[in-house]
Amino acid sequence: MLLGGIEAGGTKMVCAVGDENGNLLDRASFPTREPKETFEDLLNYFKKYEIEALGIGCFGPIDLNRNSKTYGYITKTPKLAWADTDFVGVFKKELNVPVGFDTDVNGAVLGEVTWGAAKGLDSAIYITIGTGVGVGVYLNGGLLHGLVHPEGGHIILARHPKDTYEGKCPFHKNCMEGMAAGPAIEARWGKKGYELADRPEVWEMEAYYIGQAIADYIVTYSPEKVILWGGVMHQEQLFDMVRKETVRQLAGYVHHDAILKDIDNYIVAPGLGDDPGIKGAIRLGYLELNR
């Protein structure tokens, strides 16, 4: 079975073809330009293959309500050229195949529960911390949707006692994205994260915010696995710091061995390396084909 996937980001679009077992047979990457030009690149790629279905994990906000007239659209995104863009409709029309659609981070967590670090589990969350913060949520054997879709990057956090930075998010200031994403690190400290690797105070503060957010997600979603990734998490020292801070912030309230005795295997990096998003997109296509 040949399936297609798109990991649609604000900077680049990753395309791949693969099979129902998560094997990638080919992939390509295209810059995210205006919708018309970008769609031409993507369609030319997929028209070389006879795929049976396509899955799209997309930056947002997006409309996931199948009863909505704008289902499959990117909605009111800060990337203005893409606002009110019918992403799903274009590919259904041009490729004439079923098209699965979800957020990029929901796609990533789907990849991880299907083939990666959370394989076989009924619940997991995937947190990416980079230019922004996104949280994909898989609960009770399915991806979480609701009024819209999870926006876990915008939970409000208590400030670190030594932090005087107001926060980068134009909406909430001291939300997770506003305090812990890459642009917040640069604005607070005057340098990009990779230039601050030898500054322990930077990562102590970062771990405080990430650990606090994970503690919030644990008491809210009760996931069986927490998967952390994104550019900020390439600072490898952060993982241990975040684990310890999460335990400290929970303060013994969630009394489970996975947290109290085995935190190293509870908060982890992706099992699929850099591929959870694109493999999850292919899985979205497979699931749409078999609805």
In the chain, what percentage of residues exceed pLDDT 70? 100
pLDDT at 1: 95
pLDDT digits (tens, 9 = 90+) for 25-57: 999 999 999 999 999 999 999 999 999 999 999
143 within 8 A of 110, measured Cβ to Cβ:
yes
pLDDT digits (tens, 9 = 90+) for 260-290: 999 999 999 999 999 999 999 999 999 999 9
> Model confidence at 79, in pLDDT bands (50, 70, 90)?
confident
286 within 8 A of 55, measured Cβ to Cβ:
yes
Q: How far is CA 239 from CA 6, 128, 220, 233, 261, in A?
A: 29, 13, 21, 7, 16
How far apart CA 291 and CA 286 sit, in angstroms, is 9
pTM: 0.96
DSSP string, 95-164: H-S-EEEEEHHHHHHHHHHHHSTTTT-S-EEEEEESSSEEEEEEETTEE--SSS---GGG-B-PPPTT--
In this predicted structure, which of 70-74, 76-80, 152-156 has the lowest mean pLDDT?
76-80
Rg (CA), the chain: 19
Cβ count near 44 (within 10 Å):
11
Strands (E) in 130-271, as ranges, are 133-139, 142-143, 226-229, 267-268
Torsions phi, psi for 248 (to 5 deg): -65, -45
Cβ neighbors of 21 (< 8 A, separation 6 or more) are none
Helix (H, G, I), strand (E, B) or coil at 28: strand
- Structural domains in the chain? 3-106+274-289 (3.30.420.40), 120-268 (3.30.420.40)
